[in-house]
């Protein structure tokens, strides 16, 4: 198990009157991390997978219904909380009624979960983002020499924990499964995605132009679609932790706004999988 750099910060925020929210793409290790934190509290904690319908059924904006289910638990984890309708209002009313119960919620989509919690949970949360493994996290576990020996593998297959630890012959298949879940189960299921073919073509175009300066206008022209559609999809991809946009720095704010941005994938293995090229 890898020691994640955000773990000590989360632990420091426990039982300080805040709901902890951990964002991150699928399979970056959110569940492993929160279960590790939960296990440190022995029998005083409970874990719920919010993709399960029976869990969604009791997570309603009635604190007594939730309290009856969790009993005297001092810490409760709601994993993949974005699947719960009215999750923001639900967490708010429960937290206001039982502030001594530490809630930790995770979400694979800041686009979805943040939208549901932004207004209801204002001032009540501490938010963290968990990324794929960093070099420092890997080196602290396996050592620098072992990392250097596998350096080319990391550049080919990326830094998702499950991919890093998978046997060589399974890495590509596991990455394809991860890509399918991220794109089809999560992103294409979002209400705002009306042109899935355009989104997939946009991803391939971005993968080919990684690190190059691009503008939403040039991408729209290349894909023969509207600027509004491309801008919306770039925002979704960033909030689903697939890409990151880096904007130009200028002493003139007006020029900074007019310039394009450089786009990077948050995991190089995901980028290579989209291009079906791991060489």
Q: Per-residue pLDDT tens for 165-182?
A: 898 889 999 998 888 887
What is the rounded distance in angstroms from the CA atom of residue 274 to the CA atom of residue 279?
A: 13
Which residue bears the tokens 């880096």?
A: 246
pLDDT recorded at residue 240:
86
C-alpha radius of gyration, the chain, whole number? 20
Predicted TM-score (pTM) of the model is: 0.87
Residue 76: its H or E element: strand 75-79
* Burial of 269 (C-beta count, 10 Å sphere; 0-12/13-18/19+): buried
pLDDT, tens digit (0-9, with 9 covering 90-100), for 236-271: 898 888 999 998 776 665 555 556 789 999 999 999
pLDDT recorded at residue 186:
73
pLDDT, tens digit (0-9, with 9 covering 90-100), for 20-34: 999 998 889 999 999
Domains in the chain (CATH in brackets) are 7-129 (3.40.50.300), 144-275 (1.10.10.10)
pLDDT recorded at residue 259:
64
pLDDT, tens digit (0-9, with 9 covering 90-100), for 61-73: 999 999 999 999 9
């Amino acid at each position: 198990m890898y020691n994640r750099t955000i773990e000590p910060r989360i632990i420091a925020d426990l039982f300080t009157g805040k709901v902890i929210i951990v964002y991150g793409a699928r399979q970056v290790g959110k569940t492993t991390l929160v279960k590790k934190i939960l296990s440190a509290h022995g029998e005083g904690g409970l874990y719920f997978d919010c993709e399960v319908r029976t869990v969604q059924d009791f997570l309603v904006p009635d604190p007594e219904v939730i309290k009856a289910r969790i009993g005297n638990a001092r810490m409760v984890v709601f994993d993949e909380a974005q699947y719960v309708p009215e999750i923001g209002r639900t967490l708010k009313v429960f937290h206001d009624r039982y502030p001594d119960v530490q809630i930790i919620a995770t979400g694979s989509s800041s686009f979805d979960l943040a939208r549901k919690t932004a207004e209801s949970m204002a001032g009540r949360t501490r938010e963290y983002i968990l990324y794929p493994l960093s070099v420092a996290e890997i080196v602290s576990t396996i050592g620098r020499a072992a990392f250097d020996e596998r350096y080319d593998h990391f550049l080919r297959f990326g830094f998702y924990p499950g991919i890093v630890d998978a046997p060589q012959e399974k890495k590509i298949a596991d990455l394809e499964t991860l890509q399918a879940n991220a794109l089809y189960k999560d992103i294409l299921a979002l209400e705002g995605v009306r042109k899935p073919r355009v989104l997939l073509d946009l991803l391939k175009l971005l993968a080919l132009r990684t690190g190059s300066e691009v503008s939403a206008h040039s991408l729209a022209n290349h894909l023969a679609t509207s600027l509004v559609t491309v801008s919306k999809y770039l925002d979704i991809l960033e909030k689903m932790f697939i890409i990151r946009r880096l904007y130009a720095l200028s002493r003139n704010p007006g020029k900074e706004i007019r310039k394009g941005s450089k786009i990077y994938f948050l995991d190089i293995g995901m980028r290579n999988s989209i291009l079906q090229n791991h060489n």
